[in-house]
Amino acid sequence: MSKIPASVEDIVAENFEVRDVTYYPESVEFVLADISPEDSRERFKALLRRLSPMGLIPRLYIDGEKLKLTVFSAPEGREGPQGRIRLALLMCTIGTIIFSGWIVANGTIELLKEAGMSLDPMIGMLTHSMGILAFLAIHELGHALEDRRRGNYELELFVPAPPPPFGFGTFGDILLPSKPAINREEMLDKGLSGPVAGLIAALVLSFMGIMQSIPVSMEMAQSWVEQGKAGLLPTPLAFLLMELILSPQGDKVLLLSPLALSGLGALSITFLVSMPVLPWDDGYIAFSLMPRDRARKNSWLAVIG
């Protein structure tokens, strides 16, 4: 006896030509007549709209030379606990970002004093923290707009991280939706929406932050590095190019402002989530564009490399 109601057979038949049906305890499998990919996509979406309110999930796939559709029950009890976990991780991430801002502000203040300048620690902390938080908010907004367009929004899982030089208070977010993507197109849109919005925000933050940075002599900067008061951070190419263009000429280098460091962090996080590894954003892009086996191999190569 299958848990799937018999009415599903009629609903599927309204959208596809059914050749055979097999009932299993937890699912129903349909063998369908061949259909063009474009037509199958629209019919599948129509079927999904009918089955979702019933708590059912369809899966359309090719098995050998046969086009098959399997309908099974959606997992129960995931959204409540996951919602609390997502909110808890968000709160924790906000806390680690603020702590990171405090570390950055105090480090910058110490160096500014030696350069004969000053900075209010609260302003420095807020500038850095709000920069990272604004980047995360815009990154999340990209995902949210795409999710709302498809009628399935939920908060992403944010990952807390240590402060510099080991992190920027967060490693970004990972995509673990309660409901799976219905097709490759949705996976691609889901993976692209956040990084594109976040990249724009990161570039703006970096530009504004570099413009606020203070030029200091090369000798002073070298002495800070030798004393362990300052160091070199892994820097994305986009940030290096902006720094090169906007830096003063001659024997001066920039002491990065807290806002510039938030821009650097935002670009670094964007690079991190662009690794073709699930559940990072680019993992969704890779799995939407490549055969599954090849995408898995690329994921392992990205992790090992």
pLDDT score, position 255: 87
Question: What is the predicted pLDDT for the residue at 305?
Answer: 47
Domain count, the chain: 2
pTM, full prediction? 0.75
- Would you place residue 26 in the very low, low, confident or very high pLDDT band (cuts 50, 70, 90)? confident
- Bigger pLDDT: 80 vs 269: 269
Question: Residue 80: what pLDDT?
Answer: 43
Pairing state between β 18-23 and 56-63: unpaired
Residue 89 is given by DSSP the state H
Q: Which residue has the higher pLDDT, 158 or 38?
A: 158
Residues 87 and 54 in one domain: no
Does residue 298 have a pLDDT over 60?
A: no
Q: Distance (Å, rounded) from C-alpha 177 to C-alpha 53?
A: 18
57 pLDDT higher than 50: yes
Domain CATH for 12: 3.30.1360.100
Q: For residue 197, give its domain range.
A: 79-304
In a domain, 189, yes or no: yes
Q: Are strands 214-217 and 170-174 parallel, antiparallel or unpaired?
A: unpaired
Q: If you average pLDDT over every residue of the chain, what do you get?
A: 84
Q: Within this chain, do residues 137 and 250 fall inside the same structural domain, yes or no? A: yes
Report which DSSP code applies to 4: S
Summarised one tens digit per residue, pLDDT across range 133-169 is: 999 999 999 988 888 877 777 778 899 999 887 888 9
Residues 176 and 265 in one domain: yes
Question: Strand 66-73 and strand 27-32: pairing?
Answer: antiparallel
